[in-house]
Structure 1
């Protein structure tokens, strides 16, 4: 690897690590600015749910939690940084004896599956439709799909989930929402069996549908613009002059060059796999990371909140880092310019 390439990679890595540290620090202090703390939240829950007196509830909370809200923030912050450096995010406050990684690990695979699966489907559909729109630009297909893609892109996924649930599930009765709640049916133990995997896909049908419908239009519009630009390049004209078939030109010349600008977009979008599902999971009752974060915020479970947001930060920053490195490889001019700056 040349000196310029090493410098480019090192600069991007250092910048990414700084961003992760900065965001992690902001999250640490911001969650502690929320009104109340885990002990107070649990005390209020006992008083409202069981009618206990404040003193009794406080005594039970103090014996249950190891968290002391009177500990100086700087000491809590230092302990957190040391733990993160050792890949130890601590224990959940609301679930004593359970590590943060254990709680996240029990929910994260379902979020990764639903959003990742939907991302693959939406990218494939979007790329194919985008090329079709570019080849048929100005026609009926182009106008209709451009309108549909722009409309779906403008609707937030959580709002689309509400509309899908109200009209599709309640008004029209197209699906049984009650049976689709959760990540899998009670009584079916997680395993690599066909029964469990098919059950997981059944319960993920709604969130996957929502993610695909709200994202494929974006990929189609991006691919259309990229393909249209590629069709105007000189190498396409040369290929046509050589008598190559339209299918070969589309696959070997147009498609390959049109997809390259989308590499960064795909990498960045992949970074939002975890964070982009929070509200949809809450609305659809899908017990992924979004549901876990919601419960942690309500209970002021600081370690779990910090752990989830740290994972989201790392995924987004890591995706941007991969995109930067890919751009540097695909176009050395960007890498050389970045080093000169």
Structure 2
């Protein structure tokens, strides 16, 4: 029990530190969101008065000319109420509405791609590590090479070959714009078709890391005494692979998978930009470009909660699975 209480206390402090950084980092950027919004109004020929500036400052969550401690206190109070403010980039939309509109696209795309890459990488890594030195082992450098290739370059290659040359998939977007979004077969089929290339990019770019990690753990596990004991008992190679070697070698991959799911919320900014995918990555890039403090803080908050939650889940599970972890803590 003390182990779990210590872990919860640590992550509570980590959450407070993350929220504080979430508040501070956007304000270190040059510019002022109120001034940016007023400049857009002036470009449309509308009059801007001190009263207008004050009204927009209050609308966006407080005047950024206030002392930082006042802004910080208002920021915490707004978070407690679930008020993330109004987005400058998508004014007058609320930050929560912008995020909730984009988040499902990213969670489905990156989440499914991450699961596929992890499962395939772990399975192939177990097979390759079980018999190192075979021709399958020689294919690993090609998969790790894909992991070293920049996302945008790989995405552009796939777009050119599969979309432009072969015409198998759409060039960009999240779905056919002539369709009305909804839970119907036609729209879901369109979303799958448009999301295939971005998902393929993520899978190809990340599968090498899973495969190499599992392969190395398998090679290390095969030298353990309990593997030799299982062989001495006359157990079949398939039984040893499934029940002894793979189950122990996969533990680091399970931890890495849980942490990777935490980063699913952040999406893949570059991939989403290349494919003009309506995910959270494009919203985050737009927020940074327009100094949209509220939207940046809202996106970072969701990312922080997802990553901390995934790490906490891994720590608690390891505490249950391996009693030695609790003893060392």
Q: Would you say same fold, with TM above 0.5?
A: yes
Distance in 2 (CA, whole Å) between partners of 1:288 and 1:313 is 17
Offset, 1:88: 2.9
The answer as to whether partners of 1:226 and 1:259 remain within 8 angstroms in 2 is: yes
Offset, 1:78: 0.8
Look up the SS of the partner of 1:303 in the other structure.
Answer: helix
| Structure 2 residue corresponding to 1:84, chosen from 79, 104, 111 | 79
Could you say which residue in structure 1 is the equivalent of 2:144?
Answer: 150
| Structure 2 residue corresponding to 1:174, chosen from 162, 166, 170 | 166
Question: Is 1:240 matched up with 2:202?
Answer: no
Question: Is 1:336 matched up with 2:312?
Answer: no
The answer as to whether partners of 1:125 and 1:216 remain within 8 angstroms in 2 is: yes
The answer as to whether partners of 2:34 and 2:56 remain within 8 angstroms in 1 is: no
| Structure 1 residue corresponding to 2:133, chosen from 129, 138, 141 | 138
- 1:261-276 aligned within 5 A: 261-276=252-267
- 1:1-341 aligned within 5 A: 6-46=1-41, 50=44, 52=45, 56=47, 62=53, 66-67=59-60, 68-95=63-90, 98-144=93-139, 146-165=140-159, 169=163, 173-175=165-167, 179-338=170-329
Q: Which runs of 5+ in 2 are unaligned?
A: none
Change (3 A) 1:26 1:19: same
Change (3 A) 1:275 1:159: farther
Distance in 2 (CA, whole Å) between partners of 1:121 and 1:142 is 21
Offset, 1:242: 3.4
Look up the SS of the partner of 2:84 in the other structure.
Answer: coil
Change (3 A) 1:64 1:79: closer
The answer as to whether partners of 1:38 and 1:94 remain within 8 angstroms in 2 is: no
Matched residue count: 325
Distance in 2 (CA, whole Å) between partners of 1:176 and 1:235 is 50
The answer as to whether partners of 1:42 and 1:61 remain within 8 angstroms in 2 is: no
Look up the SS of the partner of 2:47 in the other structure.
Answer: helix
The answer as to whether partners of 1:153 and 1:214 remain within 8 angstroms in 2 is: yes
Offset, 1:262: 1.8
The answer as to whether partners of 2:106 and 2:267 remain within 8 angstroms in 1 is: no
Distance in 1 (CA, whole Å) between partners of 2:51 and 2:324 is 64
Distance in 1 (CA, whole Å) between partners of 2:138 and 2:143 is 10
Distance in 1 (CA, whole Å) between partners of 2:10 and 2:149 is 33
Distance in 1 (CA, whole Å) between partners of 2:281 and 2:262 is 15
Distance in 2 (CA, whole Å) between partners of 1:79 and 1:290 is 27
The answer as to whether partners of 1:227 and 1:255 remain within 8 angstroms in 2 is: yes
Offset, 1:250: 1.7
Q: Which runs of 5+ in 1 are unaligned?
A: 1-5
The answer as to whether partners of 1:27 and 1:306 remain within 8 angstroms in 2 is: yes
Look up the SS of the partner of 1:261 in the other structure.
Answer: helix
